[in-house]
Amino acid sequence: MADSADHDSLTLFASASGFGRAAVSVIRISGPACLDVLKAISPPLPIPRRLSLRTIRDPNSRDIIDRGLVGWFPGPNSFTGEDMAELHLHGGLAVRTAMLRTLARIPGCQAAGPGDFTRRAALNGRLDLTQAEGIADLIDAETEAQRRQALRQLDGALGRQVGAWRETAIDLLARTEAALDFSDESDVDDEGLDAVLARDAGALSKQIQAVLGDGRRGERLREGFFVVLAGPPNAGKSTLLNALAGREAAIVSSLPGTTRDAIEVRCDLGGLPVVLVDTAGLRETEDPVELEGIRRTRRHMEDADLVLHLSPADGPGREAAQRPHSLAVRTKVDLVASSRLDDGLGVCALSGSGLDALLEAIQAAAEASLGGGEALVTRERHRSALTRACGHLDCVAGGMVLAPELMAEDLRLAVRALGEVAGHVGVEEMLDRLFAGFCIGK
Ligand SMILES: Nc1nc2c(ncn2[C@@H]2O[C@H](COP(=O)(O)OP(=O)(O)OP(=O)(O)O)[C@@H](O)[C@H]2O)c(=O)[nH]1
């Protein structure tokens, strides 16, 4: 990982297209030695930003490694802001290995770690931190809604909004500082300044809070809408999960208590990411392993966005929905005559009957929770920094700090908290954490 000045002067290289077998394999190179590397392995240098067919050789032995396309992207107008190159080679394992081994032997070159290229782009001011997160989210996006949200963030929607709030907070701070520094000079009018500052700080805080009051839609969309399948042992939870997910993900068995821990299956419901969670059956038991499973089930139910309370149609009556975000579902409806069924949701996971209605109900709940406009805040990190900023602005707005020096300090802390979102301040540790989650070559 590029975390020291020494490391930053190295030229990094990595496979940017994964490590499997493919038609084309892309190797990225970025750093000060990039130009020399290209001249050594694939002369002559291509026209910038235009892929050119070249023979690529080991610079020492002059052995041919492959014939492929070479792209040359001189800094600072490259993804990382440094000199960069891309080698589009044949996607075989041996070709890629030979190329990476050759690059590793060139002085000044080093294999990149996860996220190193994006990290350099952020450090060179090509992206702010929210956009770097947008790239990570775009790579991880599994559904259409996640892809759209990540693209919006990569486009800088959050960075621009938070940047505008930060400018306003800086302006408030400048006015306070001016009043402090020149309070004895006649041309600085601090008459009623406290009231004006309090009003403006309050207005800014309200704007931020309006965005924060989005029901955590952005975070939920990244993480998925959690649907927990709960109910007594043998209610048919695992069978239903498999039927809903369309694959055999959970162990299905006729032994009550087969599922001891939660099993999660991610699926795409109408473009929304839904995580179905199969849990241990709820019943009275002395078995310590099963008890632990039941404890975890209860915790999953508390954290769930939606709980499906399953009860077999041939058993006791339908369980009443215990909280607003829950649905009572009758399972194994094939075991009773249709005349004995009530009007609520009922499924036969074996034949698939009733599954469409259940999926529609889950999708409607997910849409109600995740839909309703475009969320700006997509991570707890953003929420926590913005909440802190609001706290400081509210101190100024509420007249809780009377001395102008203290007011200035609160405004400074608000500016700092807002700056953290885009990566202007105090983010070294955060950078390590963020880029560690990237893939190599990005
Ligand atoms: N007739 C019928 N049997 C079903 C249906 N769904 C599940 N079963 C059967 O019911 C039994 C229990 O199913 P599971 O899916 O393992 O039940 P579970 O609720 O996950 O059980 P635990 O893991 O013990 O909590 C199995 O024999 C299934 O084949 C259904 O719709 N109709």
Q: Is the CB of 156 under 6 A from ligand 1?
A: no
Dist CA 176 CA 172 (whole Å): 6
The domain segmentation of the chain, as residue ranges, is 5-128, 134-214+377-422, 223-370
pLDDT band at 277 (very low <50, low <70, confident <90, very high): confident
Is the per-residue pLDDT at 138 higher than 70? yes
Tell me which residue of 359, 352, 295, 362 sits closest to 326, measured CA to CA: 362
Reply yes or no on whether the pLDDT at 400 is more than 70.
Answer: no
Q: Token digits for 62?
A: 């002059």
| Strand blocks (E) in 279-362 | 306-312, 326-331, 345-346
Q: Is the CB of 253 under 6 A from ligand 1?
A: yes
* 306-347 pLDDT, tens digit each: 999 998 988 776 555 556 688 999 999 998 877 666 778 889
pLDDT given at position 268:
83
Of 239, 371, 214, 223, nearest in space to 308 by CA: 239
Question: In this structure, are residues 351 and 236 in contact, taking their beta carbons and an 8 Å threshold?
Answer: no
Class of domain 223-370: alpha beta
Q: Which of 226, 264, 200 is nearest to 411 (CA)?
A: 200
Residue owning the nearest CA to atom 1 of ligand 1 = 332
For residue 31, count other CB atoms closer than 10 A to its CB: 27
> In this predicted model, what pLDDT tens digit does every residue of 172-207 receive, in sequence order?
988 888 777 665 554 445 456 778 888 999 999 999
39 is in an annotated binding site: no
Average pLDDT, the chain: 84
Contacts by residues 179-184 (CB-CB < 8 Å, ≥ 24 positions apart)? 179/404, 180/404, 180/405, 180/408
Section 109-122 average pLDDT? 91
pLDDT at residue 258, as a whole number: 52
CATH, domain range 134-214+377-422: 1.20.120.430
CATH code of domain 5-128: 3.30.1360.120
Distance 274 CA to ligand 1 centre (A): 22
Q: Do domains 5-128 and 134-214+377-422 have the same CATH topology?
A: no
Please tell me the distance between residue 363's alpha carbon and the centre of ligand 1 in angstroms.
23
